[in-house]
Amino acid sequence: MDQTVEFICPECRSSLAAHIRHNARFQCSCGAQYEHVDGIYRLVPDDAYLKTFSFQWKKYYNLYDSPEEVAGTERTLRKLHITPELVKGKRVLDVGCGTGRFSRILSDWGATVVAVDLSEAIYVAQKNAGAREGITFAFADLFKLPFPAEYFDVILAWGVLHHTPSTESAFKTVVRHLKAGGVFSVYIYGKSKGSRRRMQNLYRKFTPHLPISVLYAFCLLAAPMYYLYKIPLIGRLLRVLIPMSQQKDYRLRIAETFDEFSPKYAWRHTFPEVHQWFVDVGLKDNAIYDPPILATGIKPFGAV
């Protein structure tokens, strides 16, 4: 039994401690059914509106495994003021964990990590990081997190909140699980202008509605365009007309292009909007960089 993490029922909010069974299904007293199998607590029936992320992360399970990517992920955490000193011995929520790239590092830094995702990425994260001590994996929805309020010392939501039906409501729901004195760090898509972005927005009007395999085939076909982008003038035009990822690494380029065009929700926000959310929920010492919007805030003691 996992002694370190307290689960509550997402439906009736009562403690699940007495009901949890391991490698089995279990039932809350309200009748809701869950399971804990192969190291994953499953609190939802399926991956809801996130089929594209299930596909993407199962295919690209090791996208962030190279030493360069691991170093880049670590740099990202530090940029958000999340350091080994901050998280050691603390309870950290990695919400929308994807492949588990952040959870791995946070665990290596000595944190007790809870990795949550509402896509089948949670299976990938468990495979990637499950051998480490002190990580709990939950297939759950951030709008109905199975944990008490004011429970985590640090919450990280990297590239997640804008992929939900409402970024603002996701932000304000997740932050309820932050303890006083805790740190909330997010990366949210920034709004940007320019012809390339306008073209991406235009394509996105229909790409999320394509069958996943068709869209993925387009991404594969577009990947070699990268070399045509190097041709002066024609390249500049192509970059706008076919606005795919510019990553040098072939797999990263395909995955990023798919990530751009496939999600059902991919909202973009301005600096003042995101800043206002931090103010609305009473976070202090907010550090915001824009664009893209990387932001960190601290919940003061005595805040509601």
Ligand X SMILES: C[S@@+](CC[C@H](N)C(=O)[O-])C[C@H]1O[C@@H](n2cnc3c(N)ncnc32)[C@H](O)[C@@H]1O
- The residues binding ligand X (CB under 6 A) are 50, 53, 57, 96-99, 101, 116-119, 121, 141-143, 158-160, 163-164, 259
Round to whole Å and give the CA distance between 42 and 100: 16
Q: How far is the CB of 16 from Zn ion (least distance, A)?
A: 8
**Closest CB to ligand X among residues 34, 57:** 57
Among Zn ion, ligand X, none, partner that 160 touches (CB below 5 to 8 angstroms by kind):
ligand X
**Closest CB to ligand X among residues 229, 289:** 289
Burial class of residue 98 in the structure, from the number of CB atoms within 10 Å of its CB (0-12 exposed, 13-18 middle, 19+ buried) = buried
199 binds Zn ion (CB under 5 A): no
Round to whole Å and give the CA distance between 297 and 171: 12
Q: How many other C-beta atoms can be found within 10 angstroms of the C-beta atom of residue 266?
A: 18
**Closest CB to ligand X among residues 117, 168:** 117
Radius of gyration, alpha carbons of the chain: 20
Q: Which of 2, 6, 27, 32 binds Zn ion (CB under 5 A)?
A: 32
**Closest CB to ligand X among residues 72, 224:** 72
Query: What's the token pair of residue 131?
Result: 């051998």
Q: How far is the CB of 131 from Zn ion (least distance, A)?
A: 31
What is the DSSP pairing of strand 178-188 with strand 293-298? antiparallel
Query: What's the token pair of residue 82?
Result: 């999340």
Among ligand X, Zn ion, none, partner that 28 touches (CB below 5 to 8 angstroms by kind):
Zn ion
Query: What's the token pair of residue 166?
Result: 């409402």
Q: Which of 2, 6, 11, 69 binds Zn ion (CB under 5 A)?
A: 11
Tell me the C-alpha to C-alpha distance, in Å, between residue 162 and each of 3, 56, 217, 293: 33, 17, 25, 11
Q: How far is the CB of 11 from Zn ion (least distance, A)?
A: 5
Q: Which of 9, 92, 93, 293 binds Zn ion (CB under 5 A)?
A: 9
Residues that bind Zn ion (CB under 5 A): 9, 11-12, 28, 30, 32
